[in-house]
Chains A and B, each alone.
Chain A
Amino acid sequence: MDLWKTERMSQADLELNREIRKILIRHWIDLGRLSFRSVNGRVWIRGELHRIAGVQEELTPSLVDTIFSEMRRLRGIVSMNIELNNWIQSQGGWKPMESEDKTAPLISPDQTQGPRVHDIGPG
Chain B
Amino acid sequence: MKKGMKIISIDDEPSVLKCLEQVLRSHGYELLVFSDAEKGLQALREHDDVGLALLDIRMPKKNGFEIYKELRTFKNIPVLFVTAYPASFTARSDDLVQIWKREFADGTTDIIYKPFDVSTLFEKVEALVGPMED
Contacts and interface: CB of A to CB of B under 8 A. Distances in A.
Interface of A: 5, 8-9, 11, 13-14, 17-22, 25-26, 28, 30-33, 35-38, 52-56, 106-107, 111-123
B48 to A, nearest CB: 20
B123 A53 contact: no
A115 B116 CA distance: 9
Nearest to B119: A114
5 contacts: A5-B119, A13-B130, A52-B100, A107-B120, A123-B85
B117 A112 contact: yes
Contact of A123 (B11, B100, B107, B118): B11
A116 B115 contact: yes
B7 to A, nearest CB: 15
Nearest 10 pairs between A and B by C-beta?
A: A54-B91, A32-B111, A54-B92, A18-B107, A22-B107, A21-B107, A53-B90, A54-B90, A123-B56, A119-B15
B4 interface: no
Contacts, number: 140
A31 B16 contact: no
**Considering residues B23, B93, B116, which has the most beta carbons from chain A within 10 angstroms of its beta carbon?**
B116
B129 A14 contact: yes
B112 interface: yes
B114 interface: yes
Contact of A21 (B90, B93, B110, B126): B110
A120 B92 contact: no
Contacts of A9: 126-127, 130-131
Given A9-B130, A25-B107, A52-B90, A33 B119 contact: no
Interface string B44-72: 00000000000011110000000000000
A121 B56 CA distance: 11
A28 B44 CA distance: 28
B19 A32 contact: no
Given A54-B92, A121-B16, A123-B11, 9 more contacts: A17-B127, A28-B91, A32-B89, A35-B120, A53-B86, A54-B93, A106-B86, A107-B117, A111-B119
Contact of B91 (A31, A32, A37, A55): A55
Given A9-B126, A14-B130, A52-B90, A118 B59 contact: no
A28 B128 CA distance: 19
